[in-house]
Amino acid sequence: MSNFPSIFNDVIGPVMRGPSSSHCAAALRIGRLSRDLMDGQLNDILIEFDPNGSLATTHKSQGSDMGLFGGFLGWEADDDRLPDSEKFLATAGINFSIVIKDIAADHPNTYKLTLTNSFGTRQLTAISTGGGMIEVISIDGNEVTMAGDYVETLIYCRSAQETIISYLNNTIVFDEIVYHGKGKPFIEIKSQHVPNEHIRKELLAMNEVETVKILKPVLPVMARKNLSVPFITCNEMMSYNEGKDKALWELAMDYESMRGNISTTEVYEKMRHIVKIMANAIDSGLKGTKYDDRILGSQSPMYQEQMTANKLIGGTAINRVILYVSAIMEVKSSMGVIVAAPTAGSCGALPGAIFGIAHTLNLPEDEIVKAMLAAGLIGVFIAAHATFAAEVGGCMAETGSGGGMAAAALVGMHGGTLVQAISAASISLQNSLGIICDPIGNRVEAPCLGRNVMAATNAVSCANMALSNYEHLIPLDEVIETMKAVGDQIHYTLRCTNLGGLSTTNAAKKIEALLEEKTGSMFKSC
């Protein structure tokens, strides 16, 4: 993650298929960069996961394998072939093996890849940091920092890197040049554009240059040199807004416009596009979904029947929220297209709450767009100072964050003040501190569905509390800092490892065994 998160990189997105953004979308992005490192030619791949990380027990069932395979093939995160990516990998003649071994990983979501083609072997190590975000931390024995938001040109050197760097300084526009001298040495260039073919040919003609690799961006919003934003905490935002009296959604547009170096109109229309995808996911879920490899069947149509027959407790608004959350989560679990908001595992809470209330109040699409922008800005503060990764912070980081974002958005959508919106986010996040991540049967379905519903209904409650001027007591920035501290204290068995909580009950293990028997082994291990 960059120092200044983007709403469209880090918070709301990617548009994807699969049960988990930390697994599927992030793995696909890592696979895409690996493919570029090998010039699109892959023959054999060794994938290593650390036994003490989350991927050792979840890589298959939560979609890391599927995502990696799709990335190796050069696909997008919403490609409809992803469920069959292993078959397409075999058809492409790409062999793989997955090994669980001590790789001295410091992060629970660490991917160590050894890539081979007819021209040689290279190594890449990367981590998934939550919500589909990644960081490449090592290439060919050299420590690097790559988030997938730059064009990364790697010039592998035989000698005399000074000559090459001098040439580059005189011929190309770049943001940064770094020489990495360990392992297989190379010069790394971070830039906004792919170097033209003429420059590449001149480089390859130099005796000092062995080869040139170009890793293209995998994020929608690119980074740049001297990037700045108007604020990065809630307190800074309030100071920035003095004398401006802007709503939260307008502040979000100011932030993202400066962060992405695009106009506020572009920001608004990007969010409108995302809103349409979310709306389609709700519609698809309500029609019923089918997918063999899942625990829960299509339940939202049954809920809709009971709701229509007036057989449910509570009013229309809260029941519509629950209905929409369920519909989106079922689309996710059936490999349909969803928006990670802020993650795939928590993709139902935020849009379920906003669309549910908006439709109950007969609000137009523009009000939903504004609400999503407002939610995105709360998410920026969380991404910058805590985490969206359940493997790092438990479900508090996923559904908890989604609920806090939704609470603030609902206040603004209902005409509340900026102070009330911030209060709603604070109260909601306070209510979700310490929630663990323990998927049943090692699938991101249950208790994930219930926790998404809880986050969405908590958001509605907290929005109403804030609109009634309840005291939130703890400032939002301090609550987010506390989220980070609490996440660090949650035992690793309770952070999406399938080693604690409901995951280890007898019933969960029986479900897991039945699913494994049904789907068969999808990977080789030794």
Number of domains in the chain: 1
Give the model's confidence band at 522: pLDDT under 50 very low, under 70 low, under 90 confident, else very high: very low
CA distances from 227 to 129, 230, 387, 396 (A): 21, 11, 21, 30
Which of 327, 362, 317 lies closest to 460, judged by CA?
A: 317
Element (H, E) at 96: strand 95-100
The answer on pLDDT for 526 being more than 60 is no
Q: Could you tell me if residue 385 is inside a domain?
A: no
Q: Specify if 360 maps to a domain.
A: no
Is the pLDDT reported for residue 523 higher than 60?
no
Q: Tell whether 134 is covered by a domain.
A: yes
Question: Does the residue 211 lie in any domain?
Answer: yes
The boundaries of the domain holding residue 28 are 16-215
Rounded to 5°, angle at Cα 433 from 427 and 435: 130
pLDDT digits (tens, 9 = 90+) for 161-175: 889 999 999 999 999
Mean pLDDT value of segment 260-288:
97
CATH number for position 146: 3.30.1330.90
CA angle 107, 59, 69 (to 5 degrees): 110
Q: Does residue 311 belong to any structural domain of this protein? A: no
End-to-end CA distance of the chain: give it in Å, rounded.
Answer: 33
Residues in the chain: 526
- Give the model's confidence band at 525: pLDDT under 50 very low, under 70 low, under 90 confident, else very high: very low
Mean pLDDT of 223-246: 97
Query: How far, in Å, CA of 237 to CA of 229, rounded?
Result: 10
User: Tens of pLDDT along 95-132?
Assistant: 999 999 999 999 999 999 999 999 999 999 999 998 99
Q: Which residue's structure tokens are 């409650």?
A: 461
Reply yes or no on whether the pLDDT at 160 is more than 80: no
Condensed to tens digits (0 to 9), the pLDDT of residues 178-209 reads: 999 999 999 999 999 999 999 999 999 999 99
- The residue-averaged pLDDT of 326-346 equals 96
Does residue 318 contact residue 457 with C-beta atoms inside 8 Å?
A: yes
Is residue 267 in some structural domain?
no
Looking at every residue in the chain, the average pLDDT score rounds to: 95
* Residue 315 pLDDT exceeds 60: yes
pLDDT recorded at residue 520: 57
pLDDT for 34 beyond 70: yes
Q: Taking the CB of residue 210, how many other CB atoms lie within 10 A of it?
A: 16
What share of the chain in percent tops pLDDT 90? Answer: 91
> Per the domain annotation, does 274 fall within a domain?
no
Confidence of residue 61 (pLDDT cuts 50, 70, 90): confident
Residue 187 within a domain:
yes
Measured CA to CA, the distance from residue 69 to residue 97 in angstroms comes to 12
Q: What confidence tens digit (pLDDT) does each residue in 259-269 have?
A: 999 999 999 99
Strand order through the sheet with 95-100: 95-100, 44-49, 110-117, 120-130, 133-139, 142-146
- Give dist(CA 238, CA 155) in Å, integer: 45
- Among 7-16, 156-165, 252-261, name the one with the lowest average pLDDT: 156-165
CA distance 460 to 454: 10
Predicted local confidence at residue 362, as pLDDT: 98
Confidence (pTM): 0.93
Residues 6+ positions from 313 with CB-CB distance below 8 Å: none
Region 477-503: what's the mean pLDDT?
96
Q: Say which residues have a Cβ less than 8 Å from residue 63's Cβ, sequence separation at least 6.
A: 18, 19, 20, 23, 24, 27
390 has a pLDDT exceeding 80:
yes
Distance CA 496, CA 349 (A): 19
Would you state the pLDDT for residue 515?
86
